Amino acid sequence: MLTDLGSPLEAFRQLVAIVARLRGEQGCPWDRAQTSQSLRPYLLEEVYEVLEALDAGDDASLRKELGDVLFQLALLARIAEERGAFTMDDVIERINDKMVTRHPHVFDPAHQSEQDEGSIAAWEARKAKERSADSSALDGVPTHLPALLRAHRVAEKASAVGFDWPDAAGVREKLTEELGELDQALASGDADAIGEELGDVLFTLVNLGRHLPHSAEDALRTATSRFESRFRRFEQALRQQGLASDALDPVALDALWRAVKHPGSTP
């Protein structure tokens, strides 16, 4: 059991030492068997558990899940060190330098303050100074992000260099246009056109979310959780009445769903 470690830095150093021991000759067979590739699903799972803790507002769970993510990062850094790629010190040095460089308004006493220093546009402008002449403003968005989140980040980066609607009203007008084009594709029965227009609608919805208090990713996650909760109540209501959903006609099914969706209403 861990005792008082004196400081967060000492605690972190002990974590690095623990990981090194786990990977050592007398360490844990499971940890010794891991590779950078084999850890991918575990890292992703732990990050999503952090998101669940954030959504639940559960600080105890958040503390636990952040620790699990930190362990995965320390393990990945140790594996990289073993193959001579880099060390955890290199990782920390790189992020320290990056944060100081990207925040001159905080760390550079000689910096001349400008408007919106902390905005995404200002951040992207500072990043642009680090890029080569032939690079893109869209560089750096991981291809493995969830589709809605990746669309948000791509559009956000484009916005940072001035490619955007001025407000939500413009995006909402574009959404009407895209929905009309989707209707035309549906009427044509052209599968390729339908897929293309559906994608345009979704991308436009993502952009609408950027101009609203909730992003499309967060809004969809919340809506899915809300549907799941309601559907579970719907299943419970079916069981209590000895019914099966596929045995009800559409009108009765809709009435029961509405009763579950709005408790206290008359079916």
**How far apart (Å, rounded) are the C-alpha atoms in residues 90 and 80?**
11
**How far apart (Å, rounded) are the C-alpha atoms in residues 169 and 223?**
23
Tell me if 70 sits within 8 A of 16, measured CB to CB: no
Q: What percent of the chain lies above the pLDDT cut of 70?
A: 92
Judge if 180 and 244 occupy the same domain: no
Judge if 87 and 37 occupy the same domain: yes
Is residue 223 pLDDT above 90, yes or no? yes
What local confidence, expressed as pLDDT, does residue 266 receive?
A: 44
Tell me if 258 sits within 8 A of 267, measured CB to CB: yes
Name residue, tokens 């090194």. 20
CA-based nearest residue to 187, from 200, 197, 177: 197
Judge if 229 and 183 occupy the same domain: no
Q: Is residue 201 part of a domain?
A: yes
Judge if 155 and 196 occupy the same domain: yes
**pLDDT-derived band at 150, boundaries 50, 70, 90:** very high
Note the pTM of the prediction, 2 decimals.
0.66
Is residue 66 pLDDT above 90, yes or no? yes
Mean pLDDT, the chain, whole residue set: 89
> DSSP of the chain, one letter per residue?
-----SSHHHHHHHHHHHHHHHHSTTS-HHHHH--TTTTHHHHHHHHHHHHHHHHHT-HHHHHHHHHHHHHHHHHHHHHHHHTTS--HHHHHHHHHHHHHHH-HHHH-TT----TTTTSHHHHHHHHHTTS-TT--TTTT--TTS-HHHHHHHHHHHHHHTT-S-SSHHHHHHHHHHHHHHHHHHHHHT-HHHHHHHHHHHHHHHHHHHHTSSS-HHHHHHHHHHHHHHHHHHHHHHHHHTT--GGGS-HHHHHHHHHHHHSTTS--
State how many domains the chain has. 3
Judge if 241 and 195 occupy the same domain: no
- The predicted-structure confidence for 90-143, as pLDDT tens digits, reads as follows 999 999 999 998 888 888 888 777 666 667 667 767 777 777 777 898 988 988
Residue 264 tokens read as 């206290």
Judge if 223 and 209 occupy the same domain: no
What local confidence, expressed as pLDDT, does residue 4 receive?
A: 52
The 3-class SS string of 223-239 reads HHHHHHHHHHHHHHHHH
What local confidence, expressed as pLDDT, does residue 243 receive?
A: 87
For residue 41, give the CATH number of its domain.
Answer: 1.10.287.1080
Q: Is residue 139 part of a domain?
A: no
Residue 92 tokens read as 């920390």
- Per-residue pLDDT, averaged over 63-83, amounts to 97
What local confidence, expressed as pLDDT, does residue 68 receive?
A: 97
Q: Tell me the residue range of the domain where 208 lies.
A: 147-213
Tell me if 194 sits within 8 A of 186, measured CB to CB: yes
- The predicted-structure confidence for 188-220, as pLDDT tens digits, reads as follows 999 999 999 999 999 999 999 999 999 998 899
Q: Is residue 185 part of a domain?
A: yes
Q: Is residue 113 part of a domain?
A: no
Query: Which domain-ending residue is among 91, 108, 128?
Result: 91
Judge if 22 and 87 occupy the same domain: yes
Q: Is residue 267 part of a domain?
A: no
Judge if 188 and 226 occupy the same domain: no
Q: Is residue 102 part of a domain?
A: no
**How far apart (Å, rounded) are the C-alpha atoms in residues 116 and 123?**
10
What local confidence, expressed as pLDDT, does residue 246 receive?
A: 84
